[in-house]
C-alpha cells in the first residue's frame, strides 16, 4: 500500500464569490418589503382585535344607563363639574378608560343625582370641583337637584382649594363647605361684558351695513359702535341684577346669610381671604383634602386606614337604568344651538330640515301623547325659525300637547319656536324674549383694495345682480328691499307670539323690540307660564295629556360614538377656543360677520358673564 493511501481525505474547498452590488440591492429591497408587509399584517390584526372589542362592548350594552357598572355598598357619589356641562351626554363605550368619564350632559347629571337619593348604596355626595363650567340656568338645574337630594337625609360635603363664583354657588347647597386654609372664594357679583369690534372693522376697512327692527335689537351694536347704547345698557343692567338676585337668594337660603350681607361680602371682596370667608360664614371649616376625607370616613363609620368608595358621575350613570317600559310616551325633543336653514348635524346646532324630520318622528308616533321641546338656543335664521314653528303647529293639530322647557337661552329665534307651545317653563335666569330681527351685510371692497391690494371689476346683466355678495356696499334700493323684508318678518314674529301667548300685537311689540329678559322677569310679562326645570316640563306635559304611566323618549337619537371618531369640527372649535382663551369672542365676532346670511332672529349680543 502506498503512503498516499494512508493520508486523510480532504474535502474540496469552494471559494465563495463576492456579492454583486445588484444582488445586494435586491436583497435589501425584498427584505424591506417583506418586513413592511409583516408589520402591516400585525398592526392590522391588532386593529381588528380592538375594533371587535369595541363592537362587543356596544353589543353588551356598555352605555349610559345600561346597568353594566356595579356600585359598592357604602359609596359616595363624587361630582366634579370643572370639565364642562353639555345639554346632553355623549355616549362613549370606552369612556371608563380615560378622563372623558365625567364630561357628561345635564341630562345624566340630573338623573344620577335623582337616582342617588333613593339608592341605598349611595350614602352621600362629595362636591370636589373648584369651578363649574356652565351657564346660570344649567347651574340652577343642578343646584335645585342637589337641594332635592338633601331631603333624602343623606349628606353633601364640598371641598376645594379655592372656589370660583360658579363653583361656590353649587357648593353652597352642601351641609359642610370646606376650604383650603390658603385658598379663597371668588364672590364678587355678575358683570356682563360685551366685546365691540367697530375699531377693528374700521382698521380693516370693512364696511358693515345693518338694518334692524327693535331699539333693543343690539346684535349689530358690536359691529357699528364702540360701547353699549342706552337701550342696551338698560336691558343689560336689568338682566345682570335679575340673575344676581337669583344666585344670592339661593345662597342666602342655603347658608342662612342675608342677601344684604352677601352683597356686602361681594362689594368688599371679603371672601378672597380664607379666614374672612370662614368668619363671614361663607365656609364652615378651613382644612386640607385629607381632613375632608377624614370627615367623610367618619360619616361612613370607616377606619382611618380604610378607603372611601368614591364613584364618579360617569361610572354611576352606567349603574342604573331609569327607563320605563310603559307604552305611552312623553317625547323630549332637543333644540340646542344656533338655528340654521337646511340640513346638518345636531352637534352643530338646529338645522331646520333635520330638526323637523326628528320632530315629525315624535308626533307621528301614536304612543307619544305629549312633546317637551327642550330649547337651549340664542336664535338664528328667521326663515328656519318660521319653518320649525309651522311644524309645531302641525303637531298640535295632530292632537299632541307641546310644552317648552327653556335652558340657558331661548331667545329671538329660540323664543320664536317656543311661543307656539301649549305651556312654557323657564328657569329664573334663562335668557329669553329678544323678539326682533335684523340683517347685516358686510362689504370687503375697501379691505381688499387698501389692505391686500386686490381690486374687483364686474359685468352684470341687471343693476342688482351682485346684491349681497359682500364685495360692495348696498345702494338705496337694496337697503329699502332688505328693510321691507325685516319689517315683514318682525310683523310675522310678533303675530306668532301674540297668537301663541294670547296677547295683542301691540302688547307684544311693547315688550319686544329685541329686548332680552331673564326668565323671572319674562314670567311677569307673560312670555312664560312657570318657573321650573326640565322635569317640571315633563310632568306638566303628562298632566296636560292626561297620562300618568309613561316612558320618556328622547329625540334626536344622538350621534353614535363611531361616527364621532371621524368628526373634527367640534375638536377644531374647541382647539381655537382653548388657544385664544378670553380672546375667543374676538374670533367669534368676526366669524359671525362672515357667516350670517339673510334676516336673523338671534340674541342681541355675545355676553361674557364674569
Query: Is 147 noted as a catalytic residue in this protein?
Result: no
Which of the following is catalytic: 217, 329, 369, 540?
Answer: 217
Helical segments of 455-533, H only: 476-501, 505-511, 519-524
Please name the residue that has the C-alpha cell 326663515.
383
User: E-strand spans in 207-247?
Assistant: 207-213
Strand partners, 423: 403
Query: Concatenated DSSP letters for 524-574?
Result: HTTS-SEE--HHHHHHHHHHHHT-SS-EEEEESPPPPHHHHTT--HHHHHH
Query: Concatenated DSSP letters for 169-181?
Result: HHHTTSSEEEE-T
Grid cell at residue 442: 358686510
d(CA 515, CA 505): 15
Give 443's DSSP letter. E
How far is CA 245 from each of CA 141, 189, 431, rounded to the nearest angstrom? 16, 10, 14
Taken in order 115, 117, 119, 124, the sign of the CA dihedral is positive
Instruction: Annotate 531-552 with b (16+ C-beta within 10 A) or e (fewer).
Output: bbbbbbbbbbbbeebebeebbb
Query: Smallest Cα–Cα separation from 535: which of 243, 250, 318, 332?
Result: 332
CA angle (132, 138, 139) in 5-degree steps: 45
Grid cell at residue 108: 345624566
How far is CA 283 from each of CA 20, 77, 170, 205, 550, rounded to the nearest angstrom? 84, 21, 13, 53, 43
Which of the following is catalytic: 172, 381, 405, 412?
Answer: 412
How far is CA 608 from each of CA 222, 236, 312, rounded to the nearest angstrom? 13, 12, 30
Query: Smallest Cα–Cα separation from 287: which of 186, 183, 130, 179?
Result: 179
Query: Smallest Cα–Cα separation from 340: which of 376, 388, 373?
Result: 388
Cβ-in-10-Å burial (0-12, 13-18, 19+) of 108 comes to buried
Give 135's DSSP letter. -
CA atoms within 13 A on the CB side of 361: 14
How far is CA 308 from each of CA 73, 123, 130, 294, 473, rounded to the nearest angstrom? 11, 11, 21, 9, 67
Between 230-255 and 136-150, two packed helices, what is the crossing angle to 10 degrees?
20
Total length of the chain = 610
Q: How many CB atoms lie within 10 A of CB 35?
A: 10
Grid cell at residue 313: 358621575
Query: Is 412 noted as a catalytic residue in this protein?
Result: yes
The catalytic site residues sit at: 217, 412
Amino acid at each position: 500500500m502506498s503512503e498516499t493511501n494512508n493520508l486523510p481525505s480532504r474535502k474540496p474547498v469552494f471559494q465563495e464569490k463576492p456579492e454583486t452590488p445588484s444582488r445586494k440591492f435586491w436583497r435589501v429591497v425584498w427584505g424591506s418589503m417583506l418586513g413592511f408587509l409583516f408589520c402591516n399584517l400585525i398592526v392590522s390584526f391588532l386593529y381588528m382585535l380592538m375594533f371587535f372589542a369595541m363592537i362587543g362592548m356596544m353589543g353588551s350594552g356598555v352605555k349610559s344607563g345600561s346597568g353594566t357598572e356595579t356600585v359598592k355598598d357604602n359609596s359616595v357619589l363624587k361630582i366634579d363639574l370643572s370639565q364642562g356641562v353639555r345639554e346632553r351626554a355623549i355616549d362613549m363605550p370606552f369612556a371608563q378608560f380615560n378622563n372623558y368619564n365625567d364630561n357628561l350632559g345635564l341630562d345624566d347629571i340630573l338623573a344620577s343625582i335623582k337616582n342617588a337619593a333613593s339608592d341605598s348604596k349611595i350614602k352621600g355626595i362629595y362636591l370636589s370641583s373648584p369651578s363649574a363650567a356652565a351657564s346660570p340656568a344649567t347651574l340652577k338645574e343642578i343646584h335645585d337637584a342637589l337641594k332635592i337630594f338633601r331631603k333624602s337625609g343623606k349628606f353633601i360635603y364640598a371641598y376645594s382649594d379655592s372656589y370660583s363664583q360658579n363653583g361656590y354657588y353649587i357648593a353652597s347647597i352642601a351641609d359642610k363647605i370646606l376650604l383650603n386654609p390658603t385658598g379663597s372664594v371668588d364672590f364678587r357679583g355678575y358683570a356682563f361684558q360685551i366685546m365691540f369690534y367697530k375699531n377693528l372693522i374700521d382698521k380693516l376697512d370693512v364696511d358693515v351695513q345693518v338694518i334692524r327692527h327693535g331699539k333693543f335689537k343690539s346684535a349689530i351694536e358690536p359691529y357699528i359702535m364702540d360701547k353699549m347704547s342706552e337701550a342696551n345698557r338698560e336691558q343689560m343692567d336689568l338682566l345682570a341684577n335679575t340673575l344676581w338676585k337669583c344666585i344670592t337668594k339661593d345662597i342666602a337660603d342655603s347658608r342662612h346669610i342675608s342677601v344684604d350681607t352677601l352683597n356686602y361680602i361681594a362689594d368688599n371682596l371679603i371672601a378672597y381671604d380664607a379666614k374672612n370667608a370662614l368668619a363671614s360664614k361663607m365656609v364652615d371649616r378651613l382644612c386640607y383634602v385629607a381632613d375632608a376625607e377624614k370627615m367623610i370616613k367618619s360619616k361612613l363609620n370607616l377606619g382611618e386606614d380604610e378607603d372611601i368608595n368614591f364613584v364618579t358621575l360617569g361610572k354611576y350613570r352606567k349603574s342604573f337604568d331609569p327607563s320605563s317600559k310603559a307604552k305611552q310616551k312623553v317625547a323630549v325633543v332637543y333644540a340646542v344651538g344656533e338655528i340654521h336653514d337646511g340640513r346638518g348635524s345636531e352637534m352643530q346646532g338646529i338645522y331646520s330640515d333635520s330638526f323637523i324630520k326628528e320632530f315629525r318622528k315624535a308626533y307621528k308616533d301614536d304612543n307619544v301623547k305629549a312633546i317637551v321641546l327642550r330649547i337651549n338656543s340664542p336664535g338664528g335664521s328667521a326663515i328656519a325659525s318660521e319653518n320649525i314653528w309651522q311644524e309645531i303647529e302641525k303637531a298640535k293639530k295632530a292632537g299632541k300637547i307641546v310644552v317648552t322647557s327653556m335652558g340657558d337661552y331661548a331667545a329671538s329665534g329660540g323664543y320664536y319656536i317656543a311661543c307656539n307651545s301649549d305651556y312654557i317653563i323657564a328657569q329664573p335666569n334663562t335668557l329669553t324674549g329678544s323678539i326682533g330681527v335684523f340683517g347685516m351685510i358686510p362689504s370687503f371692497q375697501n379691505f381688499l383694495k387698501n389692505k391686500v391690494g386686490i381690486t374687483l371689476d364686474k359685468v352684470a346683466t341687471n343693476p342688482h345682480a351682485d346684491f349681497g355678495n359682500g364685495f360692495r356696499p348696498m345702494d338705496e334700493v337694496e337697503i329699502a328691499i332688505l328693510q321691507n323684508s325685516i319689517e315683514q318678518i318682525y310683523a310675522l314674529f310678533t303675530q306668532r307670539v301674540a297668537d301663541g301667548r294670547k296677547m295683542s300685537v301691540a302688547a307684544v311689540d311693547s315688550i319686544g323690540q329685541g329686548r332680552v329678559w331673564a326668565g323671572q322677569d319674562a314670567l311677569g310679562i307673560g312670555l312664560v307660564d312657570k318657573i321650573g326645570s326640565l322635569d317640571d316640563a315633563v310632568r306638566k306635559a303628562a298632566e296636560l295629556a292626561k297620562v300618568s304611566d309613561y316612558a320618556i323618549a328622547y329625540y334626536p337619537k344622538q350621534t353614535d360614538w363611531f361616527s364621532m371618531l371621524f368628526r373634527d369640527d367640534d375638536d377644531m372649535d374647541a382647539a381655537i377656543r382653548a388657544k385664544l382663551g378670553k380672546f375667543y369672542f374676538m374670533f367669534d365676532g368676526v366669524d359671525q360677520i362672515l357667516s350670517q346670511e339673510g334676516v336673523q332672529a338671534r340674541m342681541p349680543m355675545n355676553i361674557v358673564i364674569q
